[in-house]
Structure 1
Amino acid sequence: MKKPDKNLLLALSLATTALLSHGVAAAQHSACGGVPLSVCPTPFDRALPDPKTMLSWDQQDRVVGFRNDYRNYPADVFRHGAARPLPLARRQLGEVSYQVNGHRYSLADYLQRQNVAGMLVLKNGQIAYKYLAHGNSDSTLWTSRSVGKSVVSTLVGVALKQGKIHSLEDKVTRYEPELEGTAWQDVTLRQLLTHTSGVAWNEDYTQPDSDFAQLTQCEARAGTYDCVRDLVTGLKKAHPAGQHWSYSSGGAWLLGDVLERATGMSLAAYLQQSIWQPYGMASDGVWHAYQPGKHDVGAHGFNATLEDWGRFGEFVLHEGRLPNGEKALPDGWLKLASSWTQAQGSISAAHPQGLYGFQWWNNEVPANAQNVEPAPEASLKGSLWALGIYGQVIMVNPAEQLVIVQWSTWPQAEPSFSAQPLEASLMYSAIAQQLRE
C-alpha cells in the first residue's frame, strides 16, 4: 500500500486545526452575544431592554441595559495588552461619612442613595476599596455614557502629541472641509472640546423631541452615521463661537468624527493602539460603532471593566506616562484639560472658577453649599470629573494621587447638582480625607 504523501498529511492537519480554531472562535463569538471578545463578560443577561426607550428605562432595565450595552448596538472591540497590576493597598478604606441637609450618611448609605452598581477607589495606584453589586463581576463591561467624552478628549491630547492634530486652534473645516457653509465653519477644536461652539443643541433628556433624543433614535435604526451626521450638520448658530458654554453631545460627536479623520482610525482602533495596549489594560473593551471598523460615536458608547476604568483614570492622573517611560500626552495636558472655561454659562456662584474643561467637569463641593461636611473650603480640590448620565463617574485628583470610579443607575438621567452630584463630591472628599490621615 502506498504511503500517504507527507505534504498532503501536513496540509490536512493544518486545515483541520484551522477548522477547529474557527469553530472555537465562532463559539466564543456566539457566546459573547455576537461580539468577538477574548473573554465573555458576566453576567450575560438573555433578555435586554429596548435601546429605543433608553431614556425611560426603569431601575432594573438600567442595570441590565448598561452592562449589556456592548451588544445592544453594532460595536468595535479594542484589545487589551499585558495587564498592568492594580495591587491591594495595605491601608483599606475604613468608616467614612458625609453630612448634607442635616443628615449624616455612611458609605453604605451612599451606595444605596446613589444606586451604585460598582465602585473603585485607587490610592497611589492601589485598590483601597472595590464594590460590585447586582451580580456585576470583574469581567462586566459597563457603559460609560458621557464618560466617553473624557476618553475622546484624552485621545485628542494623544493626537496632538503625535502631530496628527496640528493645533487646538485649528478650525473644524481643516479636517472636514465639507462643513464650510454650516454653523460649524468657524468653530475651533478648542471650542469643540469646551462646548463653546455657539451651535444650538438641545440636550434635554426629558423631552422626546430634543436633539439628544433624536440622536438616540438615530442610533436605534439602520444608517446611524448618516442620520446623526444630517442631524448635527443641520444645526443652527445660536451664539458667536467661544462666548457661551452649552453642553452638547452633538458637538462631542463631531469632535470624535474629526479625531477619526485626523488619525485615519476609528476611536476604538486609536484607543487600542495609543492607550489600551501600551498602558496595560487587562480586558478587551467595546465602543459603540455607527459604522463598524470605520466610525465610533464620540459622545458616548465606551464600555469597559471597572478596573480598566480605573486604569484609564491612572493614565490621565500620570499625564499619559506609559510603563516604558514614554509620555503619550503633551506636557501640561492635565492642567490644560482642567482650565475651566470662563464662557458665559460655565461660571456661577456654586463654581466661580468655571464648570467645564476639555470634556471634563469641575464637580467639587459648590462654593456656596451650606450645612455640608466636608465644608466647601475643606473639600477635595483640583479634581477632574468624567461624568455620564445616570451616575457614571471617573474622578481624577493629582494632589491626592486618587482615582475614584463609580457605576450607577440614578433614577434621573441628570439630577440637580444639589442632589446626587453634590453627595458624590462630599463622599469623595470624605474618602480623600480618610485615606490621607
Structure 2
Amino acid sequence: MQIRTVSLLCALLLGSTAVARASTAGKACHKLGLSSCPTPADKTLPAAKDMLTWGQAQRVIGFRNDWRMYEGDVFKAGTPSPLPVALQDLSALHYEVDAKRYTLADYLSRNNVTGLMVIKNGRIVYRYYGSGNTPDTLWTSRSLGKSVVSTLIGTALKQGHIQSLDDRVSRYDPQFEHTVWGNITIRQLLQHVSGVAWNEDYTNPASDFSQLTACEAGKDPYACVTTLVNTPDRKPVAAPGNEWSYSSGGAWVLGDVLEKATGKTLAQNLQDNIWQPFGMTHDGVWHSYCKGQHDVGAHGFNATLEDWGKFGLFVMNEGVLPDGRRMLPNSWLKECSDWTRALHSVTPSHPNGTYGFEWWHNDVPATASHVAPRNGMTAARTLWAIGIFGQLIAIDPEQKLVIVQWSTWPEAEPSFAKQPLEASLMFNAIANGLQK
C-alpha cells in the first residue's frame, strides 16, 4: 500500500515533469526555485535513457544538465561561506606510468577532466574548469552520491533517528519486511555485503543497473525501481556479511530506509544537516523519483565544484560545524575507513580491503609496477568517493587535504590499472607538492 500511495502521488506530478524536461534551462531553473541559474545553459540535451552509452561530448552536456533532465528536489544554501583562496602553481607536479612522466596538464587531458579543485588547510590552492564548465555549474555525482548518503546515515545515527547500524532495515522501512532485504542490516548495506543478487554491469543492456537507468527515464520511476529492486525473484547469493558485491540496488534501499527513518527526503536531510549549517555556496539538486517524496539513494547529487569540496571538508572535519556542533558520531570517520574484509573486497591490488561505508580505498594498487609516486596521500585512511566516468572526492584527514574531480572517462568503470591508478598517482604528487 505504501508503494502504491507514493506511486499515485508521483503520477500526479508527471505532467509537470514533462514540462520541466522540455523547457529551457532558465525555465527549469526557475521552476525548481534555484536561487541562481547554473551555467552554461545548454539547449540540446542527450536522451536520458541512453546515459550509459553517451559519447564524450554528450556526457559533458548530460552530466552538467542532470539537474533538469529528471525530476529533482532542491537543497537550498543558507548564508554562503565561500572558501578562502590561496592559489599555488602546481604545473611542475608530475607522476609516472610505465616509466613515462606526465604533468598535471597531461593528467587533465588524459583523463577527460572537466573540473578539479584542491583544498589544503581549508583554502582553495588550485582550481580548474574545463569544457565550458563554470563555478556555477551543477555537475552530477553519479555513484559518488552514495558517499553523501552514507554521511547522512551518520547524521541520522547521531540524532537518534537510527538507533544502531546493526538494526534490520525493515525496522525503519516495513515494505521490506517480507522480502529478501528484510533481515539485512544498515551496516551491511553501507558495506555492500548484503548478499542479495544484483548485476551492476554498466556494459550489459540487460543488467539490473541498465534496467534501473531505463526506469529513471520512464514514467513513475519510483514504482518501476521498487519493482526492480524488490521483486520476489531477487534472491540471496551469499550469507549477509560474507561477500562484498557493489550494488546500486542495495544503495537505493539504504536511501529509502534513511528517508523513512527521518521522515525527510535525502535533499531535505542534506539541506538541514550539512548544506545550510556548513555554509555551502549554492543551491543543489537531488535526482528525485517523486518530488518531495523520494530521492535516489544510489546517485543523483548535483552541486558546484566548490560545494563538492566543502562537503569533503565537512567529512574531513568529522562533521563539526563552524558553531562547534558535531553532526556525526565521534568514531564515524574511522568506521568509514575500516575497510571490509569480506570476500572480493580484499584483493591482490588492495590487500587491506577495497570498500568501507560507501567509501572506496583507492590507494596505488599493490600490484602496480613502474609507477610513481607510490606514496603521498595517507593511504590507510584516505576516503575516496567515486562515481562512474570519473567523479571523485578524495579526503585525507591527516594532511588536511581534499581533492575533487569532475570527469567524463571513456569507460564507466575502468580497472584500477587505468584512470583510477592515474588519479591516485596524481593526487599523491599533489599531496607531496603541498608538503613543501
The bucket for the TM-score relative to the shorter chain is over 0.9
SS of the aligned residue for 1:421 comes to: helix
Contact 1:147-1:392 at 8 Å conserved across structures: yes
Could you report, residue by residue, the CA deviation over 1:95-141 in whole angstroms, capped at 9, with x for unpaired residues? 10000112110000000011000000000010110000111111000
Partner of 1:208: 205
Could you report, residue by residue, the CA deviation over 1:318-343 in whole angstroms, capped at 9, with x for unpaired residues? 00010100100010210111100000
Gaps of 5+ in 1: 1-25
2 CA distance for matches of 1:37 and 1:379? Answer: 36
1 CA distance for matches of 2:74 and 2:55? Answer: 28
Partner of 1:118: 115
Q: Which is worse superposed, 340-349 or 363-372? A: 363-372
**Please, which of 63, 83, 90 is the counterpart of residue 60 of structure 2?**
63
Partner of 2:358: 359
Q: Which amino acid aligns with 1:281?
A: M
SS of the aligned residue for 2:142 comes to: coil
Partner of 1:255: 254
1:378: how far off?
Answer: 5.7
Partner of 2:153: 156
**Please, which of 154, 163, 168 is the counterpart of residue 171 of structure 1?**
168
Q: Which runs of 4+ in 1 moved over 6 A?
A: 26-29
1:286 and 2:282 correspond: no
Contact 2:336-2:359 at 8 Å conserved across structures: yes
2 CA distance for matches of 1:423 and 1:162? Answer: 39
Partner of 1:13: none
1:32: how far off?
Answer: 2.2
Return the TM-score normalized by structure 1: 0.92
Could you report, residue by residue, the CA deviation over 1:127-186 in whole angstroms, capped at 9, with x for unpaired residues? 110000111111000000001000000000000000000000000110122322311122
Gaps of 5+ in 2: 1-22
1:92: how far off?
Answer: 4.5
2 CA distance for matches of 1:178 and 1:65? Answer: 33
SS of the aligned residue for 2:277 comes to: helix
1:396: how far off?
Answer: 0.4
Q: Identity rate of aligned residues, in percent?
A: 59
Contact 1:380-1:432 at 8 Å conserved across structures: no
SS of the aligned residue for 1:131 comes to: strand
Contact 1:94-1:434 at 8 Å conserved across structures: no
Could you report, residue by residue, the CA deviation over 1:291-342 in whole angstroms, capped at 9, with x for unpaired residues? 1001000000000000000000000000001010010001021011110000
Cα root mean square deviation, aligned: 1.5
**Please, which of 130, 141, 146 is the counterpart of residue 144 of structure 1?**
141
1:84: how far off?
Answer: 1.9
Contact 2:28-2:68 at 8 Å conserved across structures: no
1:96 and 2:102 correspond: no
2 CA distance for matches of 1:56 and 1:427? Answer: 28
Seen in structure 2, the aligned counterparts of structure 1 residues 279 and 124 have a Cα distance that, compared at 3 Å, is same
1:35 and 2:29 correspond: no
Q: Which amino acid aligns with 1:406?
A: Q
Return the TM-score normalized by structure 2: 0.92
1:314 and 2:309 correspond: no
Seen in structure 2, the aligned counterparts of structure 1 residues 221 and 31 have a Cα distance that, compared at 3 Å, is closer
Partner of 1:332: 331
Q: Which amino acid aligns with 1:362?
A: H
1 CA distance for matches of 2:261 and 2:112? Answer: 39
Partner of 1:19: none
SS of the aligned residue for 1:136 comes to: coil
Q: Which is worse superposed, 97-106 or 31-40? A: 31-40
1:27: how far off?
Answer: 11
Partner of 1:18: none
Partner of 1:348: 347
Larger radius of gyration: 1
**Please, which of 97, 104, 107 is the counterpart of residue 107 of structure 1?**
104
2 CA distance for matches of 1:131 and 1:90? Answer: 11
Partner of 1:303: 302
Seen in structure 2, the aligned counterparts of structure 1 residues 307 and 48 have a Cα distance that, compared at 3 Å, is same
Contact 2:74-2:284 at 8 Å conserved across structures: yes
1:29: how far off?
Answer: 6.3
1:50 and 2:54 correspond: no
Q: Which amino acid aligns with 1:324?
A: D
Q: Which amino acid aligns with 2:101?
A: R
2 CA distance for matches of 1:259 and 1:40? Answer: 29
Partner of 2:266: 267
1:87 and 2:84 correspond: yes
Could you report, residue by residue, the CA deviation over 1:31-54 in whole angstroms, capped at 9, with x for unpaired residues? 627432110000000100000000
Could you report, residue by residue, the CA deviation over 1:256-298 in whole angstroms, capped at 9, with x for unpaired residues? 0000000000000111011000000000000000010010000
Q: Which amino acid aligns with 1:212?
A: F
Q: Which amino acid aligns with 1:62?
A: R
SS of the aligned residue for 2:255 comes to: helix
Contact 1:390-1:411 at 8 Å conserved across structures: yes
Seen in structure 2, the aligned counterparts of structure 1 residues 106 and 128 have a Cα distance that, compared at 3 Å, is same
Partner of 1:422: 421
2 CA distance for matches of 1:127 and 1:205? Answer: 34
Contact 1:34-1:71 at 8 Å conserved across structures: no
Q: Which amino acid aligns with 1:41?
A: P
2 CA distance for matches of 1:432 and 1:233? Answer: 44
Could you report, residue by residue, the CA deviation over 1:197-255 in whole angstroms, capped at 9, with x for unpaired residues? 00000000000000000000000111100110111112211111000000000000000
Seen in structure 2, the aligned counterparts of structure 1 residues 69 and 378 have a Cα distance that, compared at 3 Å, is closer
Partner of 1:243: 242
2 CA distance for matches of 1:262 and 1:368? Answer: 42
Contact 1:350-1:367 at 8 Å conserved across structures: yes
1 CA distance for matches of 2:407 and 2:191? Answer: 25
1 CA distance for matches of 2:128 and 2:46? Answer: 25
2 CA distance for matches of 1:54 and 1:83? Answer: 33
Q: Which amino acid aligns with 1:233?
A: N
Seen in structure 2, the aligned counterparts of structure 1 residues 134 and 41 have a Cα distance that, compared at 3 Å, is same
